[in-house]
Each structure stands twice: as structure tokens, then as C-alpha cells.
Chains A and B, each alone.
Chain A
Amino acid sequence: MEVAFNALPFLMEGLWVTVKVTAIVVAISLVVGVVMGVVLTYGSAWVRWPIRLYTDFIRGIPVLVLIFFAYYGLPAIGLNLDNFTAAVTALTAFKIAHVIETTRGAIQSIHQGQTEAGKAIGLPFWDRMIYIIFPQAVRRFLPPWINTVADAAKGSALVSLIGVVDLMLAMQKVIGRTFEPMPIYLLGAVIYFLINYSLSLSSRRLEKQFSYSLEK
């Protein structure tokens, strides 16, 4: 157990990278995903079609393949990304697809009558969105979205495979030096658990809080 405590400062540095990767991925995918999700719900067939293709494509291949492709594949066509950028790019592309689906689901769950009521009092499209649809859709959006944040935190462990020294690779490095895998893995598991469990608890609480509005 002493090994684990001695390694703690080094692991914390790795944790910081994990948090950084997760935060960037979550922030970019939130903005891009929500915009594309709105387009997917309301846009014409010409814009809907590419977005649908994108989400189905991205969700059909393993994240690991995306990460390897971004790091090993893109340089071959002249796009040299360092490992951190490649990792963040791949994970963001993956997360965007999920946020698009969550957004579409949240918007479509709002009853048609709400839109019609907005039209009836003469609100233009964006006013309807901002004052009627979004405030209601956000309740349906938040709980599953927090779950995707937790997913991103877990998925970020894969960036260790292209040499980004996140929590996972920090653990591997410590083990390489001390040859004591068990204490380090268990400590790492506890750290990941604390992050993810608190996220999933908050998701569940929000869901309960918001459920009053979901009763028909």
C-alpha cells in the first residue's frame, strides 16, 4: 500500500491531464453537438442527411479506432497532430455524435402543442426555441448529458494508448518502475470511481428533480 501513497503526487499530475482532456472534450462537444442537434431536428433534408450519416458512422466504430486513426492515420495525409490534440480530436468527434442524439431526443420529447401554441401567439422560430422549447428540453437533456460526461471521463483512459500521460498512463509508468500492479490499479480505480460515481449520482438527482414536469 505504501507504493500507492508514494505514487500519489505523480498520479495526481496524471489526473489533472485526464480532467483537462475530459473538460475540453465535454465543452466542445456540448456546443457543436447542441447546434447540430437542433439542425438535425429542424433543418431541411439536405442538412439533416449529412448529420445523420455522421452520427451513424461515428457510433458504428470503436473509439479506440478513432483515436488510433487520429494519431497514426492523419499524419499520412499531411495532418500532423501531437498526441494530446489527436486524442482530444478523436474523443470530441465521438462525443459530438452522442450530444447530437441527446439534443434531438430532448427536443422531440417536448409536446407538439407547445410549438403550436408558440406559433399561435405569433412567436418567430428563434423566440419559440429560446422561450418555449429550450427551457423545457433542458430538463430532458441534462440527466443523459451528465452520463455522457461520465462516459467521457472513463473513455479518456484510452488516450493513454497514444502516449498522453493521463491518470491511466501515469499508473502504468509507476507500475513499470515498482512492479506492484495491484495497489496502483486499485488506487486508480478508486479515483476514477469517485469522479464517475459523483457524476452519475448528480445525474440521478437531477432526473428525480425534473421528473415532476414529465408527468403527463
Chain B
Amino acid sequence: MDYHFNFRYIWKHFDRLLDGLVLSLELAFISILIGIVIGLALALVHTDFGWKARSFVAVYVEGIRNVPLLLLVYLVFYGLPQAGGMEYSAQTSFIITLSLYSGAYLVEVFRSGFDAVPTGLIDAGKAIGLTPWQRLIYIRIPTMFRIVLPSLSNAFISLFKDTSIASVIAVPELTYGAQWINFNTFRIIEVYVVITPMYLVTGYAILIGLRQIENRYLKRS
């Protein structure tokens, strides 16, 4: 192999990669927050309301989950503004897409979480005279979160990796930064040698951090 490694250009443009990594994390974080709100609301609608509401939730969940994320990204970025006359930046459009996407996945997670809340706990709440709202806020939601915490961490890591798709609509995240350096300096292997550990280390660091939080949180209960 007569390929000569030359990392000079990578370090010269390293701020692009670093900023990209931070943006990737931000995109994933904002999206999962909005996704949690969507998922929680729809999971409650699904468990507590009738079949009409259920089928609405099912259409949303199945509709999003069975279509490639790339197609959703294009649809929101190129399709919707033209059809609806809206205007938003690539970044906003990606956050909208990823939030809807994570929301659809989290509905299922939260739904099974609510199902796994022991009935004895809810009955205990009834017995001490809590209203349905109080039972929801003080018993069902906290218990459910404790149950689904590991799945929530996994969802966040997977969203973090999915942010790489934002590069196709020129959101300057990590993969976009890598592509930019590729096309401008042609130090292709070097770029991948640098960004692969960036994804890996960040991903596993988050995973380990979240597992630690889970353990502490679960031990207390």
C-alpha cells in the first residue's frame, strides 16, 4: 500500500469536525426532547382513549416507522415548503423530521412502559384517594420512566448516529464536515480515521454515562 498519510489538513479544518460533532449532539438532544413529548402524549392517548384515537396513533407510528428516514428528511425539507408555503432552515427542517421520527419510536416504548406499571401501584394510589390526574403524575409517569430508561438511552444513541443523514441537506454536522474536507483536500482516508473514533468514542461515552445514571436512579427506588 503506497498511500501516504497526511493529517495536516485534517487538523487545519478540525474545528469543522468538532463543531459538527457538537451540532450532531445538539440535533439528537433537541429531537429526543420533542420526541419524548410527542411519544408521551400519544402513548397516553393510546392507552387511555378509545379505538378512534388508537387508530390515529397507529397510523402515525406505522407511517413513520415503515418509511426510510432519508425519505422523511427530503419530504420535510423539499416537499412540505413547496406544498404548504412554509419556510424554514435546513436545520429546523431536520429537527422537525428527527423529532417526528423519534416520537414514533418512543410511543411504542412508552406504551409498553405504561403497560408494565404494576396494577398494585395504581390500586394503591386509588386506595389513598388520588385523582386520576394525580395517579398519572405521581405514579404512572415516574414508574414508567424508570422502566423505559434503558430503551430511552438506546434511542438517544441511535438518534445521534441518525444525525449523519442531516448531511444530505447540508446541515453542517459531523458527516457533512467530513465530506467537506474530503471534497476540498482529498485526504479521504485520514478523515475517516479521525471521524470514526469520534462517533465511536462519543457514542460509547454517552452509553456508559447514561448506564451510570440509570444504575443510580434504579438503585434509589
Is A192 an interface residue, CB under 8 A from the partner? yes
B70 with A160: CB separation less than 8 A? yes
Is B83 an interface residue, CB under 8 A from the partner? yes
Residues of B within 8 A of A200 (CB): 65-66
B63 with A193: CB separation less than 8 A? yes
Count of A-B contacts judged by CB separation below 8 Å? 108
A60 with B71: CB separation less than 8 A? no
Chain A nearest CB, measured from B164 CB (Å): 4
B71 with A192: CB separation less than 8 A? yes
Report, as a range, how many residues of chain A touch the other chain.
35 or more
Partner of A192, one of B68, B161, B168, B196: B68
Given A60-B203, A77-B1, A175-B78, CB of A193 within 8 Å of CB of B161: no
Chain A nearest CB, measured from B160 CB (Å): 9
Residues of A within 8 A of B179 (CB): 68
Q: Which of A149-183 contact B (CB under 8 A)?
A: 150, 154-158, 160-161, 168, 171-172, 175, 181-182
A107 to B65, CA, bound (A): 28
B164 with A62: CB separation less than 8 A? yes
Give 1 or 0 for each of B83-102: 1 = CB within 8 Å of chain A CB: 10000000000000000000
Chain B nearest CB, measured from A5 CB (Å): 18
B62 with A73: CB separation less than 8 A? no
Report, as a range, how many residues of chain B touch the other chain.
35 or more
A168 to B67, CA, bound (A): 11
Chain B nearest CB, measured from A40 CB (Å): 19
Q: Which of B43-77 contact A (CB under 8 A)?
A: 62-63, 65-71, 74-75
A175 to B77, CA, bound (A): 13
A193 with B67: CB separation less than 8 A? yes
A69 to B68, CA, bound (A): 21
A160 to B188, CA, bound (A): 20
Partner of B78, one of A63, A150, A181: A181
B78 with A77: CB separation less than 8 A? no
B203 with A168: CB separation less than 8 A? no
Is B200 an interface residue, CB under 8 A from the partner? yes
B67 with A77: CB separation less than 8 A? no
Is B18 an interface residue, CB under 8 A from the partner? no
Chain A nearest CB, measured from B208 CB (Å): 12
Residues of A within 8 A of B112 (CB): none
Is A17 an interface residue, CB under 8 A from the partner? no
Is B31 an interface residue, CB under 8 A from the partner? no
A62 with B162: CB separation less than 8 A? yes
Residues of B within 8 A of A77 (CB): 1, 3, 189
B66 with A158: CB separation less than 8 A? no
Partner of B196, one of A61, A78, A150, A156: A61
Residues of A within 8 A of B161 (CB): 61-63
Residues of A within 8 A of B175 (CB): 62, 64-65, 68
B66 with A150: CB separation less than 8 A? yes
Residues of A within 8 A of B164 (CB): 62, 64-65
| New contact pairs (13) apart from A157-B70, A188-B71, CB-CB < 8 Å | A61-B199, A61-B203, A62-B165, A64-B165, A68-B178, A68-B192, A77-B3, A78-B1, A158-B70, A160-B70, A182-B80, A196-B67, A200-B66
